A = this chain, B = another copy of it.
Amino acid sequence: MEDKIRALFFDIDDTLYDSTLQANLARESAIKAMIEAGLDVNEEKAMSSLREIVRKFGSNYSYHFDELLKKFGYDPNPRIVAAGVVAYHTTKIAYLVPFPDTIPTLLRLRDLGYRLGIITDGISVKQWEKLIRLGLQHFFHSVTISSDVGREKPDPEIFKIAIKNAGCKPKEAIMVGDRPDRDISGANKVGMVTVQIAKGKYRWVKPRDESEKPDYTISTLADILDILKRT
């Protein structure tokens, strides 16, 4: 890197914590609880149906478990649905913890004098809830959320807004994220240095074109420190 890096921006899901593991375990717990509450179905079949339902109705839909019961020919059953909801939320909160190297790495980066920011898509209050439960709400100089700025990754505008807040040039800023199609593609377009973290399901997804290719790939967040040493 020719320009000195001054700022680092991070995605949240599968970048600062294991949201893929969290989502899978929460769904598994929910299915197990519903089976214990009387849903007489095969666990693996139920998991794959639930995945289909989440794809079809989106992850913010409130009636995934009602749809699952319907799919298996059950009448509405609030007792079984409630068993799933309680297990789901309990598991989701239990696994809302940072990767082991997230906090040490963020601390080290602050000690080194970098500006730190979040660039994330989602509903603002929900994303702040995650940061608070992760214990990460105080680490960042700026938090840029799509629902606040009206632009979603990979729209270059959301990256430009975040960089402007940090008071640096795009090439003085690193974007760290897991998704080639959102984090890497968008940050490449504005001329940031891009780092893909190989976590979650996107680690298996090949870039569709040049714009989705990151400048660097890391396997865990602490590796960002090695990349910075090369500058």
A interface residues, Cβ below 8 angstroms from B: 78-79, 81-83, 85-86, 124-129, 131-133, 137, 143, 145, 148
Contact = CB atoms under 8 A, between A and B. Distances in A.
Number of copies of this chain in the oligomer?
Answer: 2
A124 B82 CA distance: 9
A128 B79 CA distance: 6
A132 B79 CA distance: 9
26 contacts: A78-B124, A78-B125, A78-B127, A78-B128, A78-B145, A78-B148, A79-B128, A79-B137, A79-B143, A81-B125, A82-B124, A82-B125, A82-B126, A82-B127, A82-B128, A82-B129, A82-B131, A82-B132, A83-B128, A83-B132, A83-B137, A85-B125, A85-B129, A86-B129, A86-B132, A86-B133
Given A81-B125, A82-B127, A86-B129, 11 more contacts: A78-B124, A78-B125, A78-B148, A79-B128, A79-B137, A79-B143, A82-B124, A82-B126, A82-B128, A82-B132, A86-B132
Nearest to A124: B78
A205 B216 CA distance: 68
A29 to B, nearest CB: 13
A79 B125 CA distance: 7
A90 to B, nearest CB: 9
A163 to B, nearest CB: 20
Contacts of A148: 78
Nearest to A80: B128
A44 B206 CA distance: 56
Contacts of A127: 78, 82
Contacts of A137: 79, 83
Contacts of A81: 125, 128
A128 B76 CA distance: 13
Count chain B CB atoms within 10 A of each CB in A81, A125, A131, A132 and give the residue with the most: A125
Contacts of A126: 82
